[in-house]
Amino acid sequence: MRRPPPRADETRELDNTLATLERDGAALVTVEPLADLTLVQARRLRERWHDLPEALRIEAVHQMAASSGDDVRLNFERALLVALRDSHEDARRAAIEALWESESTTYLRDLLDLFEIEDDAGVRVRIAESLGRFAGLAIADAVDSELSDELERALIATALDDAHEAVRLAALAAAAYYRPIELEPAIAAAYDEGHDDARETAIIAMGRFGGNRWAARVTDALLVGDNDLRVQAARAAPYVEDRRIVHYLYEAAEDDDHDETQLAAIWALGEIGGPNVQSFLEALRDTTDGAVNEAAEAALENAALLEGLVDAAPVH
């Protein structure tokens, strides 16, 4: 008897995996065979995915996310790209969250396509947040230029015109990496006139946008904001190109009543660097212990690295 062609073997293996999944439910042992699918198996999964019950599909996506987190050798990307087009928004949202670390062009292409047709606001927020990660990669020239241009246009259009405020805000923060001048009024208005979430998003956008046009607002947030806003302001501070903010970072770095703000300020000082900052961080390291001591040591290492990069820069 002639052996079936390899593609038939792959298809049969995938069908058996789905039968086991439906019989035994979603668990590590039943979803693990969905890792590292071949292209043939991925196409077959796309054909068969909606044969599975809705609740099982959602649980399978959550289990894939948990399993890949526990074992980085398991790559569920092809299976999760199938789930990205699930008919239920919970499955789509879970697939996006599970693919958070993916940097593949295929995933970016699928995200952009889904962004264009997705009608659930919660899923659109998750898409915009994930697209923001790709925008960060794009400005580091890690994304194809044509795809980057499409990404930029999609994010700006959504930030300006989407019907849902949460989606507009997520897109605003994501698009800020591109420093689009047409979004400057929206960023400013979100901080000056918005509610707490809008103000926090605006500060994130200011840090990604960069430039001293945002220095006064970031300083204001660092001084008078609630703890969440102060954390984001500290993270934005290295990018506002105004050394005057360093004084307020010193104060925040010594504020042991607010741990998250304190650690964020120490990190920011390490991103800024310079002799005075290094002296401050050395003193902080030598007089503290625990998380603050470790943060100060890490910040010093980063500041020294930045100093080395400056010293090694060629003279023109």
The pair of structure tokens assigned to 27 is 């668990």
| φ/ψ of residue 25, rounded to 5 | 90, 170
- Residue 57: HSE in the Cβ half-sphere, 13 Å Cα cutoff: 25
Residue 149: count other Cβ atoms within 10 Å of its Cβ: 13
In a domain, 38, yes or no: yes
Residues 151-167: pLDDT tens digits?
Answer: 999 999 999 999 999 99
Residues in the chain, overall count: 316
pLDDT computed for residue 38 by the predictor: 95
In a domain, 50, yes or no: yes
Residue type, 273: G
In a domain, 131, yes or no: no
DSSP string, 156-191: HHHHHH-SSHHHHHHHHHHHGGG--GGGHHHHHHHH
In a domain, 256, yes or no: no
pLDDT computed for residue 309 by the predictor: 53
The pair of structure tokens assigned to 285 is 């390291």
pLDDT computed for residue 1 by the predictor: 42
pTM above 0.85, yes or no: yes
Structural contact between residues 169 and 154, judged by C-beta atoms closer than 8 angstroms? no
Tell me how many domains the chain contains: 1
The pair of structure tokens assigned to 93 is 């949202």
Closest CA to 229 of 256, 254, 194: 194
Domain hosting residue 34, numbered range: 18-99
Ranges of the chain whose pLDDT falls below 50: 1-5, 310-316
pLDDT computed for residue 312 by the predictor: 42
Residues 224-246: pLDDT tens digits?
Answer: 989 999 999 999 999 999 999 99
In a domain, 51, yes or no: yes
In a domain, 200, yes or no: no
- Kind and range of the H or E element at 218? helix 215-224
In a domain, 84, yes or no: yes
In a domain, 81, yes or no: yes
Residues 103-139: pLDDT tens digits?
Answer: 999 999 999 999 999 999 999 999 999 999 999 999 9
